[in-house]
A and B are shown apart, each in its own frame.
Chain A
Amino acid sequence: GNSVTQMEGPVTLSEEAFLTINCTYTATGYPSLFWYVQYPGEGLQLLLKATKADDKGSNKGFEATYRKETTSFHLEKGSVQVSDSAVYFCALSVNDYKLSFGAGTTVTVRA
């Protein structure tokens, strides 16, 4: 089956620190990969995505590269802000509409 494993949290950082959240996947087929973000009290929103190997998704200073050889899609940001405090979800879909989510990683950025 399809599954996503992401780094357990919570993660606490100081402002301007470097953030990495690891995500690996198992898929029967060739998945599209996503990072969604959930700010406190809100629904999820798409942060970035990649649909084929070696694609790099980027948005709001975040980046993730689709690595087929290591089945990974790690999320990175070079300098986090307090406003980046949220829960981050890695997800995949394979040949259909359904998303399989990781457990989520809670990130807290301190001023």
Chain B
Amino acid sequence: NAGVTQTPKFQVLKTGQSMTLQCAQDMNHNSMYWYRQDPGMGLRLIYYSASEGTTDKGEVPNGYNVSRLNKREFSLRLESAAPSQTSVYFCASSEAGPGNEQFFGPGTRLTVL
């Protein structure tokens, strides 16, 4: 079991470039999430997918789009990157329902110049 995998691990973009962060899980979880981690701010939810076929905005969705490609995969797209999107991005998954543990990927460190 690989758990939650993310690609790439590192990325440097120029302002205005686009890119897609990939996430996959092999635990047959219904729910998947994208967070960003910034110093002193903990993790903030960007988007989530409660189940295959649904996506919803989290706390900080502006500048991002997501696709729940199938039950395993949940991608995050930056259409026109900005320096404010420099961050570490984490994907997570869980069983549906409150109180369930979320399993996190290793993260993608993104720098926008």
A99 with B99: in contact, given A43-B107, A89-B42, A104-B42 (CB under 8 Å)?
no
Q: Specify which chain A residues have a CB less than 8 angstroms from the CB of B48 in the assembled complex.
A: 97-98
> Contact at A93–B99, with CB atoms within 8 Å?
yes
* Mask of B57-84 contacts with A, CB within 8 angstroms, 1/0: 0100000000000000000000000000
Interface residues of B in 25-59 (CB under 8 A from A): 31, 33, 40-45, 48, 50, 58
> Contact at B102–A46, with CB atoms within 8 Å?
yes
Q: Specify which chain A residues have a CB less than 8 angstroms from the CB of B41 in the assembled complex.
A: 103
User: How far is B100's CA from A83's CA once the two chains are assembled, in angstroms?
Assistant: 26
Chain B interface residue number, banded: 20 to 34
* Mask of A81-101 contacts with B, CB within 8 angstroms, 1/0: 000000001000111111101
Chain A interface residue number, banded: 20 to 34
> Contact at B45–A46, with CB atoms within 8 Å?
no
Q: Specify which chain B residues have a CB less than 8 angstroms from the CB of A44 in the assembled complex.
A: 43, 90, 92, 102, 104
> Contact at B90–A43, with CB atoms within 8 Å?
yes
Given A45, A94, A104, which contacts B104 in the complex, CB threshold below 8 Å? A45
> Contact at A42–B40, with CB atoms within 8 Å?
no
> Contact at B101–A101, with CB atoms within 8 Å?
no
Query: DSSP majority for the A interface?
Result: loop
Q: Specify which chain A residues have a CB less than 8 angstroms from the CB of B90 in the assembled complex.
A: 43-44
> Contact at B42–A97, with CB atoms within 8 Å?
no
User: How far is B100's CA from A109's CA once the two chains are assembled, in angstroms?
Assistant: 30
A32 with B99: in contact, given A44-B90, A89-B42, A98-B45 (CB under 8 Å)?
yes
User: How far is B31's CA from A43's CA once the two chains are assembled, in angstroms?
Assistant: 18
User: How far is B102's CA from A103's CA once the two chains are assembled, in angstroms?
Assistant: 18
Q: Specify which chain B residues have a CB less than 8 angstroms from the CB of A43 in the assembled complex.
A: 4, 90, 92, 104-107
User: How far is B50's CA from A103's CA once the two chains are assembled, in angstroms?
Assistant: 24
Chain A contacts to B: CB under 8 angstroms: 4, 32, 34, 41-46, 49, 51, 89, 93-99, 101-104
